[in-house]
Amino acid sequence: MPLTTRICDWCKKPYKRERRFATRFCSRTCSNRNANKSDDPVGRFWSLVRKTKTCWVHKIKSPKTSRYWLIKVNGRQIGGHKFSWELHNGPVPEGLFVLHKCDNTMCVNPDHLFLGTTQDNSDDMVSKGRSARGSKHGNAALTEKDVRNIRKRYKRTSYHKSNTRELALEFGVTDSVILAIVRRTVWTHVK
């Protein structure tokens, strides 16, 4: 692999590294100095922001374990979006949370952030179609097409007789699920 010349983010001296080793520092010493630079969280925050046409995101891709950008301030970690809100608008009132209009959890653009309760967050999720509803739910045994099919094929011959059992066996669910689908107490979003 060819060596490329880079500039150390801490000491600003040039150093050479193979292209596949994308480091920001020339040595562990500079990297550790940067990690201990906790006296200026605002400077550290702005050094990590990459502004795109729409969102302001973290320069380094976040680990898959966390959906949010976290920044350490005074020994505790807070969300980058909360830090950005407090930087631009002041402290977050008790009982409120910083929510995203853009649905990009890594975004820290203050124009994309708003305050709300947990109910506001849930309502926003439902209104944008991001809730785990119907076949999107991880435990769903049926699809919307199956539900329409069940409703179309359900027959009631008398008060105690229907084809509920046959449909339940065919679709791999219980009789009560078939009845709940037919009565529209579940899968209410399917027409």
pLDDT tens for each residue of 44-68 = 888 888 888 888 887 765 555 567 7
87 and 10 fall within a common domain:
no
| pLDDT band (50, 70, 90) for residue 113 | very high
> Given this model, what pLDDT does residue 21 score?
57
| pLDDT band (50, 70, 90) for residue 116 | very high
Residue 48 falls inside a structural domain: yes
Distance of alpha carbon 142 from alpha carbon 173, whole angstroms: 9
Q: Which residues span the domain enclosing 50?
A: 38-131
Q: CA distances (Å), 134 to each of 140, 145, 169, 178, 190, in order?
A: 7, 11, 20, 15, 8
42 and 84 fall within a common domain:
yes
pLDDT at 135 over 80: no
Q: Quick check: helix, strand or coil at residue 149?
A: helix
pLDDT, mean of residues 95-116: 89
22 and 46 fall within a common domain:
no
pLDDT in tens, 19-37: 655 577 777 777 666 655 5
113 and 45 fall within a common domain:
yes
> Given this model, what pLDDT does residue 79 score?
85
70 and 142 fall within a common domain:
no
Residue 83 · residue 71 · CB < 8 Å: yes
82 and 163 fall within a common domain:
no
| pLDDT band (50, 70, 90) for residue 139 | confident
60 and 98 fall within a common domain:
yes
Residue 8 · residue 24 · CB < 8 Å: yes
For residue 103, give the CATH number of its domain: 3.90.75.20
Residue 19 · residue 4 · CB < 8 Å: yes
Residue keyed to tokens 């929510």:
99
Rg of the chain taking only CA atoms, in angstroms? 26
Q: Give the CA diameter of the chain.
A: 86
Residue 190 falls inside a structural domain: no
- Alpha carbon distance, N-terminus to C-terminus of the chain: 59
Residue 102 falls inside a structural domain: yes
42 and 124 fall within a common domain:
yes
pLDDT, mean of residues 155-164: 75
